[in-house]
Amino acid sequence: MQRRHFLQTLGALGTAGALAGIDTPALAAGPGKPGAEVDDSALAGNSGGTLSAWRGATPAFTLEGLDGQQHALSEWRGRVVVLNFWATWCGPCREEIPAMGAVARQYRSRGLALVAVNVKESPPTVKPFLSKLPIDGTVLLDRDGSVFKRFGAIGLPATYLVDRAGNARFWRMGELEWTDVGLHGHIEALLQQGGGGSTA
């Protein structure tokens, strides 16, 4: 089911992507590398299971939030971050929002933060969507898709686990199984790696 959903999302990037302003060739890059340095091996092992090890550098970024303020990834230094790229038109993104929120609530008091980056949509599109299907975390706007491109994913949703030092450690393209014991094991391990950080 998840594999089918992911393939449909990749298809949407090519056929319906114009609706969301997404340019498929611009997204075809290996993890942590610009398009001119594509390494197909970096994508190996991510088509099945849950999370794979991240093999690239972690792009720094600053994006506007729905609160109108600028937020940098470094703002969450000291916490473990679930970094999720999504869009309102993406079916698998919509399907995983409730389970993703449940995981965020489960670990929030121990230092987990959920940062959901919307790709190439505007507040007038995002806000009404969230009024019906809230995301239990901080929502940022990647209006031109440049941050999504720098993280090297080629479909939505795309999820990354970032450790307390601000380094991406694991990732997945496609819908995650949020109850998977492997995912929770990775979260537990990262939470135990020092530092407290605010849990607000």
Domain 2-191 in this protein, CATH class:
alpha beta
Say what the pLDDT of residue 84 is.
Answer: 99
Tell me, what's the pLDDT at 8? 44
Of residues 95 and 50, more confidently modeled: 95
Residue 29 predicted with pLDDT over 60: no
Q: What is the domain partition of the chain in residue ranges?
A: 2-191
Q: What pLDDT sits at residue 141? A: 99
**DSSP states along the chain:** -HHHHHHHHHHHHHHTHHHHT--HHHH---TTS-GGG--GGGGTT-SSSS-EE--S-----EEEETTS-EEEGGGGTTSEEEEEEE-TT-HHHHHHHHHHHHHHHHHGGGTEEEEEEEES--HHHHHHHHHHS--SSEEEEETTSHHHHHTT--SS-EEEEE-TTS-EEEEEES---TT-HHHHHHHHHHHTSS------
pLDDT digits (tens, 9 = 90+) for 130-176: 999 999 999 999 999 999 999 998 999 999 999 999 999 999 999 99
